[in-house]
Structure 1
Amino acid sequence: MASGEDKRVTCAVLIIGDEILSGRTQDTNLRDIARYLGVIGVDLAEARTVPDVLEEIVDALNALRSRYDYVITTGGIGPTHDDITADAVAAAFGVELEEHPEIMAMMTARWGDQLNAARRRMARVPVGGALVKNPVQGPPGFTIGNVFTLAGVPQIMRGMLEDVGPRMRGGRPTVSRTVRVEGSGEGQIAEPLEAVAKAHPDMSLGSYPFFSAEGYGSNLVIRSRDPEQLSAVVAELIDALRRAGIDNVKEMAVA
């Protein structure tokens, strides 16, 4: 795992749920987590999706938490029988589950005599774990070691992220700039783009084609942690494109 404040800080996302793999539910959490991590300078290095199978969750979690600085899991912490993420996290760390008193108090205040066995499942936290605040609704998530276990419901997950970020050791935030090329396909821009990319292997250059009523082209997105270097490479890319005979090039306004 990365260490030292000048090193790259990494995170993996483990998406848990049969409903994601079956296509019944479209995942948006990965996108939101990636955007959030980028702002705080943490690189999303890998993402996996696994079914509601205890052994598969444990295997994936152990692989990811040993490789990256942090792991965020989403899904599987609800009240039903197939919500087994808490069980899997506890098994991965070799600890028992316990009903967290703070969650129990919160749930008792809300449901009183209606606090049944299914709802009590949501109060289970691995021994040694700490809570992740839930500002939206329902019980909180939890964290143990370098793992943050969050809800799968997007709105709730996003709220929980606000408590996760301050606990992470951030790196230097990634800055991005976009160069828009209109009227030229990827085949035309491939050579100058590749040349610039090879000259700057420490930066990320991506090509994203678009097709609209106004025409077609590509948005070339350059990412770096060094704003000065980024500006220089943007200028270098625009120059390389124009020297290749591609004139309809402009940098998009920085958001």
Structure 2
Amino acid sequence: MKVAVVTVGDELLAGRTTNTNAAWLCEQLDDRGVDVERVTTVPDRVGDIARVVNEYRAEYDAVIVTGGLGPTHDDLTMEGVAAALGRSLEEHDDALAWLETNGYTRDDLATGTADLPAGARALHNETGVAPGAVLEDVYVLPGVPSEMKAMFETVASEFTGTPTYREAVVADEPESALLDRIADLRERYDISVGSYPGESVRIELTGTDEATVAEAAAWLREQVESP
């Protein structure tokens, strides 16, 4: 399963808010064996949201959009997603009924709180107010991290793939000096290899067979100088 993550918010692009939602979602999806192939941040503009969502849903199995939900002037994500799929926004009976069951009345809710794209499945917000939605292969989640995490858990089982296994080997050598051994490693084992320099070099081995990854890590540890 291949997925794109779209985060929405002018504050993300201005650097006023750190994009922790994207990192958390990528980690959760990766743990489920799902390949995240795009992470994109777009401003609070309907046209930008619609264009990116429409492009990505044609390329990937699912698109997760987070941020910009609610009834305020800059909460435009639902409108953008509706535009991408050629739907109208309308008051969602299930979303409204859930909110009323959980202590809200129509008078409590700002106009548009329960408006979702026509035909969407509502995702209820256990820790906030604004509902999310699933429309075909597009999942729309809140931007507040606690709300996003709780809502994602309700649909996490819909994201599946081949589990991957990882091991890290730390080498106390310059990265350039390790190139021949990394090339040898790739020839010997059916794994992916990434190297990340710092005070030492962390070499990360990834594969779909746990035994192969463990064997490759053991071989590499014998070939490099440890810190």
1:62 to 40, 49, 54: 54
1:171 to 161, 174, 182: 161
CA distance in 1, matches of 2:204, 2:153: 27
Letter in 2 for 1:230: V
Letter in 2 for 1:70: A
- Counting only pairs closer than 5 Å after superposition, residues 227-242 of structure 1 correspond to structure 2 as 227-239=210-222, 242=223
**Is 1:158 equivalent to 2:149 in the alignment?**
yes
Aligned partner of residue 24 in structure 1, secondary structure: coil
Q: Deviations over 1:162-200 (max 9, x none)?
A: 0121123x122111111122x322222233224423665
**Is 1:71 equivalent to 2:60 in the alignment?**
no
State TM-score, norm by structure 1.
Answer: 0.81
- Counting only pairs closer than 5 Å after superposition, residues 135-154 of structure 1 correspond to structure 2 as 135-154=126-145
Letter in 2 for 1:115: L
Letter in 2 for 1:167: E
CA distance in 2, matches of 1:135, 1:224: 36
1:204 to 192, 203, 221: 192
CA distance in 2, matches of 1:143, 1:116: 22
Q: Cα RMSD over matched residues?
A: 1.9
- Give the CA deviation at 1:115: 2.6
* Alignment size in residue pairs: 225
2:226 to 224, 241, 248: 248
Q: Deviations over 1:198-232 (max 9, x none)?
A: 665x632112233xxxxx31221111111122123
Aligned partner of residue 200 in structure 2, secondary structure: strand
Letter in 2 for 1:133: H
Say if 1:103 and 1:139, in contact at 8 Å, map to a contact too. Answer: no
2:30 to 30, 38, 46: 38
Say if 2:94 and 2:122, in contact at 8 Å, map to a contact too. Answer: no
Q: Deviations over 1:56-102 (max 9, x none)?
A: 11111111111111110010112211111101111111111111123
- Counting only pairs closer than 5 Å after superposition, residues 115-154 of structure 1 correspond to structure 2 as 115-117=109-111, 121-154=112-145
Say if 2:69 and 2:76, in contact at 8 Å, map to a contact too. Answer: yes
Kindly, what percent of the aligned residue pairs are identical?
34
Letter in 2 for 1:116: A
CA distance in 2, matches of 1:234, 1:12: 30
CA distance in 1, matches of 2:19, 2:53: 19
CA distance in 1, matches of 2:136, 2:119: 9
Aligned partner of residue 206 in structure 2, secondary structure: strand
Gaps of 5+ in 2: none
* 1:184–1:167 distance in 2 versus 1, CA, 3 Å: same
- Give the CA deviation at 1:28: 0.4
CA distance in 1, matches of 2:40, 2:75: 18
- Give the CA deviation at 1:112: 5.0
* 1:198–1:111 distance in 2 versus 1, CA, 3 Å: farther
Counterpart of 1:219 in structure 2 is: 202
Counterpart of 1:187 in structure 2 is: 176
Aligned partner of residue 184 in structure 1, secondary structure: coil
- Give the CA deviation at 1:111: 4.8
Aligned partner of residue 113 in structure 1, secondary structure: coil
* 1:190–1:133 distance in 2 versus 1, CA, 3 Å: farther
CA distance in 1, matches of 2:7, 2:49: 9
